[in-house]
Amino acid sequence: MGRSPSSFPRRFRVLFSFPSFPSFLLNSTPEFLGGSRSLSTLSYEEIRASERPFDSSVFVLHGLLGSGRNWRTFSRKLASELQNTSNSNEWRMVLLDLRNHGKSTEVKGLDPPHDMENSARDIANLVKSHGWKWPDVVIGHSMGGKVGLDFVASCARGDYRESVVLPKQNSFGY
């Protein structure tokens, strides 16, 4: 059995006094999600092992309260390793700052609701606005993993109105 907040010492009670969330942050309506948002794009950083043209892309999605730059070292090492092990592919790592994280907090037009579905749609908007090919691989940590799953599921359903080649499924020998 848990203790009620009033049974904790006063200095701990503040942890339990959360204002109620506005309902629009918790609930989303299909009309709002149907494309009425502006096409604002996320902030991102590209990492490549060389300056040669790339053949394949990896999107790296951070977790809650993170940002793309949390994954710089990992992405540099992965790009280098992929360059050394891939036959001819040059890889580009795209480290995204998901909505309300990192430099994407400065992007105007990423309106509520701030949920996984809209975060996945933000990725599709980024791809389309830059004229990129869809990513070959999506890597996500924690919340970024959920956004990545929503993104590839939406791609598979055709939610983004284009033929999408789904990201490759590969265990990299593990």
CATH of the domain at 59: 3.40.50.1820
Residue 3 falls inside a structural domain: no
Q: Is the entire prediction scored with pTM above 0.85?
A: no
Residue 23 falls inside a structural domain: no
Beta bridge partners of 58: 93, 137
- State yes or no: pLDDT of 22 exceeds 50: no
Structural domains of the chain, count:
1
Tens-place pLDDT, residues 142-162: 999 999 999 999 988 888 876
Which residue segment(s) compose the domain that 131 sits in?
A: 47-157
Integer Cα distance of 120 and 160 in angstroms:
10
Residue 33 falls inside a structural domain: no
Residue 92 falls inside a structural domain: yes
Tens-place pLDDT, residues 60-116: 999 999 999 999 999 999 999 888 886 667 899 999 999 999 999 999 889 999 999
